[in-house]
Structure 1
Amino acid sequence: MANATHEIVIIGGGSAGIATASSLLKRRPELDIAIVEPANLHYYQPGWTMVGGGVFDAPVTARPMRDVMPSAVTWVQESAASFQPEIKQVTLQNGDTLHYRLLIVAAGIRLAWEQIEGLGQSLGAHGVTSNYRYDLAPYTWQLVKSLKQGRALFTQPPMPIKCAGAPQKAMYLSCDAWRDAGVLGDIDVQFHNAGAVLFGVDAYVPALMDYVDRYGIDLNFGSTLTAIDGPARQAIFKTADGEITRDFDMIHVVPPQVAPDFIADSPLAAESGFVDVDQFTLRHHRFPDIFALGDVGSMPNAKTAAAARKQAPIVAVNALAVLDGHAPVCDYDGYGSCPLTVERGRIVLAEFGYGGKLLPSFPDWIIDGTKPHRLSWLLKSEALPWIYWNGMLKGHEWLVKPKPRLTPNPRQAA
């Protein structure tokens, strides 16, 4: 494979990359597609919050990559190293090259643990945990079960991060467990958020504030975790008034998140480091034979699995149009979904698009997403994992089938 050529090369075998390949093959089964993905395991990452809350066991969120990779694609089990878009080439870590007619980048986001001093040495011990890692989510639940009194800190870094509601979800599920155990009143729960608001879409804030008040959570906005001393059980935060230090018995850390280095250092990157694409067509601004979706894209949408699920068929349709010599024919509306788990059995189902516009999948009489619902919990705990493994990854586009424009998109001509 030292110098192979494919019609379409997809970088990344996560949810976005595999869903796009499956949507492409549903429409054109004869396509020659290669997926570049080094990992042996594929994870259902939205399930890790439930693992940290004692709802799921971690192994149900992982499957062998070979079991989810579409059988019709060529799986290149290697890492991408660099891009040469002027000659339509990707160079791999082992020095091999792949040439393409069209490139789709779905490489995800990088968790920058190293940006918090001392965190790497403390994770998984000294009460320091994070649901953002498969191996640590069970430790979160272990800490929650064992904590009877003291201080529990929950952090959220500056945007962008994947699933902006996940830091809160970990906190609410923990508080619900402590309430059930009768110890919540003996635990000082603090939320340290680098941002200025509890949630970026105002319509969902009142319901969340009800739970903040119910659980007695101390909100700290403009508070960014910068360092941890695990053995001393101390966390240091940067605030507008200077550094503050907080002792803790448990801390749930959400790391800063950035574009993967091989993307940020490439000619594909925008100033942000993410792939520089049109937010509607998901086509690259400077290289018309390149698309990007999922967490690695520069679009200003919420980075969630639901967003990738909506984007994948749009990229598939637009990519095929470009392969056929036409302009992209579908637009992405910025849809993302964040099921905010406020207690075991109830969820505030946040669904919104660009500009914070509410984009509910169901009428209010079925699910009013601005209020906590039992039905939303069943959707999150029962339906969505099944839809992920059996629908999204296999090219079934339930509720996300793209609607082609009547005229080509004027923002990007072929």
Structure 2
Amino acid sequence: MKTHYQVLIIGGGTAGIMVASQLKRKNSSLEIGLIEPSDKHYYQPAWTLVGANTYKFSDTVKPMASLIPKGVEWIKEFADVFKPESNTVVTKKSNEFTYDYLVVVPGLKIAPELVEGLPEAIDKGVVCSNYTDPNHTWETLKNFNGGTALFTQPTTPIKCGGAPQKIMYLADDYFRKKGVRKNTDIVFALPSGSIFGVKVIADTLMNVVDRKDINVRFFHKLVKVDADKKIAWYEIDKDLTAGGCVTIADGDVASLDRDIQYNYKDVKVTREGDRFGIHFDMMHLAPPQCAPDFIKNSPLAAETGWVSVNPKTTQHTKYLNIFSLGDVSNLPTSKTGAAIRKQVPVTVANILKMIEANAISSKEYNGYTSCPLVTGYGKMVLAEFDYEKNFEPDPKLKKFPMMINDSSKEHWRLWMLKKYGLPYLYWNKMMKGIEV
């Protein structure tokens, strides 16, 4: 095994494989090393569908060896220490690898420890998460016979910000089919003041909430999960001194703070000081997420812990021969595979231009990402937007036979795109370095 590479890539997820594949397609003679300890590569966007029993988990995984491009050397180790001043990465086995150019794309870390009680609760009993065990999510939905179904998300950035509500809409459909919906209150507790950051999409989703009779609780910051008592504890991230109550226990319905409560349901809530404990009979959540420790503690990290890069070029703000994209970067956009699809060609063009002329290419990333928001079995909305949160459909996707004129509205053809079109695009185009 070599110890020096023209391009060294850390991470064999979506971004790592795409960068390696596109670089090899454009310059087959490049000496590329890829540091990745895992034997398996997962297509995680389908885990929402796995959790609703409409996609097989086994279809979301492939051997890592089958995806690493020919001519790219697989270093099956954990990256551990960065020494950017000497262009060196040290692995946990204390092996040192040097590079001309480094691409840092190890993905993010699922961090349930950031919420008290969550490590003990998650993926056990009635607490589930598509982010960690979608098969357990399905078991939880299947075993649910009514009561309070609580869906929630953390205050941290997460993979696909819309995912915590997608499974909620599918659960509503399933509960109706099973005949338990009439005995069920569905509550969606989230830390922000809006259900989605792009207004045209938020409007569509609030119509879905109305149709499905879901109680949305805004400004709810999850701080603790008590699995034994089945209580999720929240702090309200909004000034309450201006008046208006959080729950009906504080007064009558007319006095509820409408910025916090939408379509209020009188589910059991226990109050202790400034905390509100929502009692649940099942809970699905996106756990908190953060940069891996070896990134947070490195000279590459910004104060937030994510890799500090230029938002238009993906080039590191200090070390010009280092690039980062995808979930671990501090690019101010959603952390999705769709964002990576647009980030990779910019990164690749810049690396090739740096090799050729020690300069950055003219390609720039405008923050494009998309979030396929499943709103039920056979229904989906496709949120596409840029850094400014403008709704911006991708002309390339528009050519897909499953697309419709206005993807901000629910449609069965978009569901077909999610279930069949996007997995095909991922395995047969994106992973093979074909720009789409």
Equivalence for 2:216: 219
Equivalence for 2:207: 210
Equivalence for 1:187: 184
The answer to whether 1:264 aligns with 2:296 is yes
| 1:51-130 equivalence runs, <5 A | 51-130=50-129
C-alpha displacement of 1:71: 2.1
CA distance in 1 between partners of 2:122 and 2:327 (Å): 24
CA distance in 1 between partners of 2:58 and 2:229 (Å): 32
The answer to whether 1:336 aligns with 2:335 is no
Equivalence for 1:404: none
CA distance in 2 between partners of 1:358 and 1:217 (Å): 25
Quick one: which amino acid aligns to residue 312 of structure 2?
A: F
CA distance in 2 between partners of 1:142 and 1:111 (Å): 21
Equivalence for 1:167: 164
CA distance in 1 between partners of 2:156 and 2:415 (Å): 26
CA distance in 2 between partners of 1:19 and 1:33 (Å): 13
Equivalence for 2:257: none
Query: Which residue of 317, 320, 333 maps to 1:288?
Result: 320
Quick one: which amino acid aligns to residue 10 of structure 2?
A: I
C-alpha displacement of 1:393: 0.7
Quick one: which amino acid aligns to residue 137 of structure 2?
A: T
Equivalence for 1:18: 17
Relative to structure 2, which stretch is displaced further, 84-93 or 252-261?
Answer: 252-261
Equivalence for 1:142: 139
Equivalence for 2:249: none
Residue 6 of structure 2 aligns to a residue whose secondary structure is strand
Equivalence for 2:430: 392
The answer to whether 1:157 aligns with 2:154 is yes
Q: Deviation digits for residues 56-105 of structure 1, max 9, x if unmatched?
A: 11111111111111121010010110101011000111100100000001
Relative to structure 2, which stretch is displaced further, 15-24 or 311-320?
Answer: 311-320
Unaligned runs of 5+ in 2: 241-273
Equivalence for 1:255: 287
Quick one: which amino acid aligns to residue 322 of structure 1?
A: M
CA distance in 1 between partners of 2:333 and 2:203 (Å): 22
Q: Deviation digits for residues 229-273 of structure 1, max 9, x if unmatched?
A: 212222111214620112111100211111111111111111111
* Number of aligned residue pairs: 395
CA distance in 1 between partners of 2:208 and 2:392 (Å): 23
- In our comparison, the structure showing a higher alpha carbon Rg is 2
CA contact (8 A) 1:7 1:33 kept: yes
Unaligned runs of 5+ in 1: 399-414
The answer to whether 1:366 aligns with 2:404 is yes
Equivalence for 1:326: 358
Quick one: which amino acid aligns to residue 406 of structure 2?
A: D
CA contact (8 A) 2:123 2:136 kept: yes
Equivalence for 2:387: 354
CA distance in 1 between partners of 2:303 and 2:353 (Å): 28
The answer to whether 1:236 aligns with 2:233 is yes
The answer to whether 1:273 aligns with 2:312 is no
CA contact (8 A) 1:126 1:231 kept: no
CA contact (8 A) 1:157 1:195 kept: no
Equivalence for 1:50: 49
Quick one: which amino acid aligns to residue 249 of structure 1?
A: D
C-alpha displacement of 1:148: 2.1
CA contact (8 A) 1:367 1:373 kept: no
Quick one: which amino acid aligns to residue 14 of structure 1?
A: G
C-alpha displacement of 1:211: 1.1
C-alpha displacement of 1:120: 1.4
TM-score under structure 1 length normalisation: 0.93
C-alpha displacement of 1:325: 2.4
C-alpha displacement of 1:139: 1.2
CA distance in 1 between partners of 2:319 and 2:374 (Å): 40
Quick one: which amino acid aligns to residue 100 of structure 1?
A: Y
> CA-atom RMSD, angstroms?
1.4
Residue 224 of structure 2 aligns to a residue whose secondary structure is strand
C-alpha displacement of 1:117: 1.4
Residue 227 of structure 1 aligns to a residue whose secondary structure is strand
C-alpha displacement of 1:180: 2.3
Residue 251 of structure 1 aligns to a residue whose secondary structure is strand
Q: Deviation digits for residues 389-411 of structure 1, max 9, x if unmatched?
A: 1110100112xxxxxxxxxxxxx
C-alpha displacement of 1:46: 0.4
CA distance in 2 between partners of 1:193 and 1:130 (Å): 15
Residue 302 of structure 1 aligns to a residue whose secondary structure is coil
CA contact (8 A) 1:126 1:233 kept: no
CA distance in 2 between partners of 1:185 and 1:211 (Å): 17
Identity of aligned residues (%): 41
